[in-house]
Amino acid sequence: MKKILLSAFALCATMMATAQNQAADPHAGHDHAKPAAVAKTEETIKIESVHDFGKIPQGKPVTYDFVLTNVGKEPVKINNVQASCGCTTPSWERDKAIVPGTSTKINVGYNAAAEGPFSKNITLNYGDNQTKIITIKGEVFKTPAASAPETKAAEIKE
């Protein structure tokens, strides 16, 4: 009886393992041609992907110019630049085509109103529906509520 139960268990375990392998690879055991590898599109722009502002004071907006260079063979137009939130404001030359080998700037401002670390994404849409994400990050520190006490110079008596 033990041999029958052990054989049945081994048979069930083998069937389950085979079924899992076929579920993981639906083409296993079949002679289907695999699809051709997807060709990687050639990069047409080059831009710094992250800028770290470091520590910045609360209430003092900051800006940074990302330099975008056309490394492709055709002119490229920036269709849109969209920030992930309203505290980040991008600006760029709209309707300008960047010819190969030249650069343009995308100015990104951040309103440092909230205290603490931040990381904001900006999505660039360019060319024929291509996208690239750039990021600004840093940490906003709380500025003192009151200014330093005024120093009074000693009166000079003549």
Query: What are the tens digits of pLDDT across the range 46-60?
Result: 999 999 999 999 999
Judge whether 125 lies within some domain: yes
Could you say which DSSP state residue 148 is in? P
User: Which residues, given as ranges, of the chain have pLDDT below 50?
Assistant: 5-6, 9, 12, 16-17, 19-40
- Does a structural domain hold residue 154? no
Closest CA to 128 of 74, 90, 48: 74
Query: How many Cα atoms are found within 13 Å in the side-chain-facing hemisphere of 104?
Result: 18
| Whole-number pLDDT of residue 144 | 76
Q: Do the domain assignments include residue 4?
A: no
pLDDT of residue 7: 54
Whether residue 123 lies inside any domain: the answer is yes
Beta carbons of 136 and 157 less than 8 angstroms apart: no
Q: What span, in angstroms and rounded, lies between the C-alpha atoms of 111 and 89?
A: 8
SS3 content of the chain, % helix, strand, coil (to 5): 15, 40, 45
Give the total number of structural domains in the chain: 1
Query: Which CATH number do you get for residue 102?
Result: 2.60.40.10
Q: Tell me how far apart the alpha carbons of residues 74 and 78 are, in angstroms, rounded to a whole number.
A: 13
**pLDDT confidence of residue 43:** 82
Q: Is residue 39 part of a domain?
A: no
* 14 inside domain: no
In a domain, 97, yes or no: yes
Which pLDDT belongs to residue 6?
46
CB 45 within 8 A of CB 72: yes
Is position 153 within any domain? Answer: no
Q: By residue range, what is the domain housing residue 81?
A: 45-141
What's the pLDDT at 136? 97
